[in-house]
Amino acid sequence: MKFLDQAKVYIRSGDGGAGAVSFRREKFIEFGGPDGGNGGRGGDVVIECVDGLNTLIDYRYQQHFKAKTGQHGMGRNRHGAKGDSVTLKVPVGTQIYEEDNETLIADLTEVGETFVIAEGGNGGFGNLHFTTSTNRAPHHANPGQIGDELTIWLRLKLIADAGLVGLPNAGKSTFLASVSSAKPKIADYPFTTLHPGLGVVRSDGREFVLADIPGLIEGAHEGHGLGDRFLGHVERCRVILHLIDATCEHAGTAYRIVRKELAAYGNGLDEKPEIIALSKSDIADAFTLGQQMERLKRAIRSYGPPVVEGERRRPPLIISAPTHHGVTEALRALRRVIDGENEMEAASGPQEAWRP
């Protein structure tokens, strides 16, 4: 299945049914009268967040969705039925934007959450509704109200506890494959990962979700390489695991490039808690590792995320996914940050409204 995280969709809610103009014509009723029923309401367009989906690929093949028109009113005071609604099913983490692709309408983050994006038009009144003491036989009825039509953007942002970032070939996919059951494509050329991937990681009896996104290069925010469009998938992450290839030319430069791209993207990515690790330590000698570690520490002091008052900056780790060296320590560091935020959320709890 192809991964699609953005789709443009045209939607239209149903028109309301028209009211009826009708009069009673029974044989033994001396005085007839109006008996036109009201029209039915048009169908709504609803967006529902469901389980089991992880892509918007369905909306590549169908982009137009129209709800049904409400049934027209009929004689004998019969009201029209409501038109059938249309439900667009989307994965967890889908955001709905207006046509400008900038104005957020709704953010669906829980299974079962629904949002009515376009309401159907009201049905028109039949002539029975207009009967008064002075107008006993009205000959007019209302047409149904026109439904809403608009173009929207659906944008998926994967929901994960931790996210992997780094330059191409930094070992992100290898790390994800070694700590979870995910099977990402792994090769020795840049941009092997073309789409974000998710894996469930188990550490010390606890589970959390780890997201792997395609590698960044210098100028990604300007569209170089694969660009930075996939960074939206780590916006919801509580912590970032930043991998730097220990065999690269200069670890400090590699770290600086990614940090600048995170800052250029915005949305607070450069301020998130960050675990930094030198990867591929199994193919680097001790001298190279020491040299790269010193370069990395200098870069972290200049470009690293702000340090919370009262805390020390986390030292970089040295890991090797194939040999599993340092992987357990990295997972524990991620879990401590995730659990720490969960404990803070639980301690704060729901705030009760003030009462006099």
Supply the pTM of this predicted model: 0.80
Residue 355 lies in a domain: no
- What is the pLDDT at residue 124? 97
Domain assignment present for 267: yes
Last residue of a domain, one of 107, 136, 156: 156
Residues 45, 73 within the same domain: yes
- Residue 215: inside a domain: yes
In 3D space, the residue among 188, 230, 233 whose CA is nearest the CA of residue 209 turns out to be 233
Same domain, 146 and 175: no
Residue 353 lies in a domain: no
Cα angle 351, 353, 355 (rounded to 5 degrees) comes to 140
- If asked whether residues 184 and 87 sit together in one domain, one would say no
CB-side neighbour CA atoms (13 Å) of 101: 8
Instruction: Write down the pLDDT at residue 191.
Output: 80
Residues 86 and 118 grouped into a single domain: yes
| Residue after which a domain boundary falls, among 104, 130, 156 | 156
239 domain residue, yes or no: yes
- Is 119 contained in some domain? yes
Residue of 63, 21, 11 lying closest to 42 (CA atoms): 11
Intervals of the chain under pLDDT 70: 1-2, 308-311, 341-356
Q: Are residues 76 and 119 in the same domain?
A: yes
> Which residue among 113, 128, 156 closes a domain?
156
Per-residue confidence (pLDDT) for residue 356, from 0 to 100: 40
Q: Same domain for 226 and 344? A: yes
- 115 and 228, same domain (yes or no): no
- Do 273 and 292 have their domain in common? yes
Amino acid letter, residue 353? A
C-alpha span between 10 and 16 (Å, rounded): 19
pLDDT at residue 311, as a whole number: 64
Q: Three-state secondary structure along 303-342?
A: HCCCCCCCCCCCCCEECECCCCECHHHHHHHHHHHHHHHH
* Residues of the domain holding 166: 162-348
Contacts of 64 (CB under 8 A, 6+ apart): 9, 10, 11
Query: Alpha helix locations (H) across 3-65?
Result: 58-61
Task: Indicate which CATH number applies to the domain containing 4.
Answer: 2.70.210.12
Domain CATH code at residue 216? 3.40.50.300
Q: Per-residue pLDDT tens for 232-258?
A: 888 889 999 999 999 999 999 999 999
Are both 334 and 185 inside the same structural domain?
A: yes
> Domain check: are 201 and 337 in the same one?
yes
* 28-47: pLDDT as tens digits: 887 888 999 999 999 999 99
pLDDT at 148: 96
Distance of alpha carbon 292 from alpha carbon 243, whole angstroms: 13
Q: 251 and 135, same structural domain?
A: no
Q: Do 175 and 110 fall within a single domain?
A: no
Number of independent structural domains in the chain? 2
Positive or negative: CA dihedral 249, 280, 260, 313: negative
